[in-house]
Amino acid sequence: MKVLATNKKAFFNFEILEKFEAGIFLTGQEVKTIKNAGVSLVGTYVVPKKNKKGRVEFFWVGANIPPYQPENAVLFNPQRERKILLRKKEINYLLGKTKEKGLTLIPLRLYNKKGWLKLEIGLAKGRKKVEKKELLKKRAIEKEIERTLKEKR
């Protein structure tokens, strides 16, 4: 498993409650671009939408994946919404959870698994400013403890 992109800000700005592995419906150009140049997950999110048949599907929104060969990509849309492939149980579960106040779905990692691109999405609850400050203080204290332990050795 090779990690292609990580959303580091998500772990700071959100409290991750659960993680899910999902496939992504991509074109060949998009796969080549992601594998060669990568993509940024910061500022992207996952939303449920109903299709023409009335079924709910999840889409990855906000990802900017440029074309692999810009000269040959005439009708290519780098900002398009990309379908997320999940099991029916997961779709129903996540649909119920996203209707709860304060919960959202955000991409955490994009990785290559057995030749397939997978997106790890997290069910997350936003942190307040106070909680973020506390987290930074806690990390600083932990670093200081590690430094002192290293010096004593």
Per residue in 88-97, pLDDT (tens digit) is 999 999 988 8
With DSSP H G I counted as helix, E B as strand and the rest as coil, what are the percentages for the chain, rounded to 5? 35, 35, 30
CA distances from 61 to 21, 40, 126, 145 (A): 17, 12, 18, 41
Q: What is the residue extent of each domain of the chain?
A: 2-127
Q: Are 78 and 64 in contact (CB under 8 A)?
A: yes
Task: Say which amino acid occupies 62.
Answer: G
Nearest Cα to 108, choosing from 118, 100, 98, 95?
A: 118
Provide the pLDDT for residue 23.
92
Assess if CATH 2.160.20.70 describes domain 2-127. no
Mean pLDDT score of the chain = 86
**Does 47 score more than 80 pLDDT?**
yes
Query: Residue 135 has what pLDDT?
Result: 85
What pLDDT score was predicted for residue 85?
92
Residue 109 · residue 1 · CB < 8 Å:
no
